[in-house]
Homo-oligomer: A and B are copies of this chain.
Amino acid sequence: MAKSRFEYVKSYELPDILLPGTYIIARVDGRGFHKFSDAHSFEKPNDRRALNLMNHAAGCVMEDLKDVICAFGESDEYSFLIRKSSKLYNRRRSKINSTIVSIFTASYVFYWPKFFPNTPLQSPPSFDGRVVLYPSAREIRDYFAWRQADTHINNLYNTAFWALIQHGGLSTTEANKALQGTDSKDKNEILYSRFNINYNNLDSIFRKGTILVRRPIEPPQELTIPNESSGVNAKPVDETRPQVKPKRQEQYEGVTGELDILHEDIIKDGFWNARPWLLAT
């Protein structure tokens, strides 16, 4: 097509390529969600519908962008891990950041009625986004640990805060004051002794946040049956034949398969050891 003499302005658009071989974290955060949650009467301290909607929107991001191989969400924020070998959008920072924010936002608004069937959306909520690079697996582990530790800290506080208000009859100012200077143990104690709430029995979605991660497709059953066999007549497993599953998992890169929605510990080794591909490619 014909080009205009104004085309030169395009040259002011400068490259913003992310360092290759580096893990990419994209985090979206709700803008003004305190007000937004009040306007839509979110339950306190946690609104399960709102969390489910966040999780669904995050799932839409992972559905669209396969190189997002893991995500963690709490409250009004979500962090996405893009594998270090990713060439998504040629690793352009703005493109990656804006696309993730937009898919997330669009999905949040689009699926609102599904999660809040009786609460009409009053105004379009929005999110901001940022992209942060991490050179090593250790830092990725610590990043997610940071977010899950934050989830715990915030949720324990909020649980105690709203218990004091909802069950203790305190005002918000009084509740704030009552919690000033308390540590985790104090808050647990307040919950237990005054409101008979055992914090550790609360639903894990509130205490641990939500992890989204793909599940590698299981090897076809015919192949695995011998491994499962037991009982008197079971043939001994042929140790010499190549094992399908481990080999597959070794090659599995986390970009295919169904999404799992988990509310488990992401700080200890278990989660990561079970999914070595997350930090490998």
Residues in A lying within 8 Å of B, measured CB to CB: 1-2, 4, 6-15, 17, 19-22, 28, 31, 60, 64, 84, 93-95, 97-99, 101-103, 105-111, 121, 123-136, 139, 142-143, 145-146, 149-150, 153-154, 157, 183-184
Contacts and interface: CB of A to CB of B under 8 A. Distances in A.
A133 B103 contact: no
B124 A106 contact: yes
Q: Which of A109, A127, A131, A154 has the most CB of B within 10 A?
A: A109
Contacts of A101: 98, 101-102, 105
A133 B14 CA distance: 9
A56 to B, nearest CB: 11
Q: Which of A8, A19, A84 has the most CB of B within 10 A?
A: A19
A95 B130 contact: yes
A158 to B, nearest CB: 11
A109 B99 CA distance: 15
A143 B8 CA distance: 9
A167 to B, nearest CB: 23
A93 B4 CA distance: 28
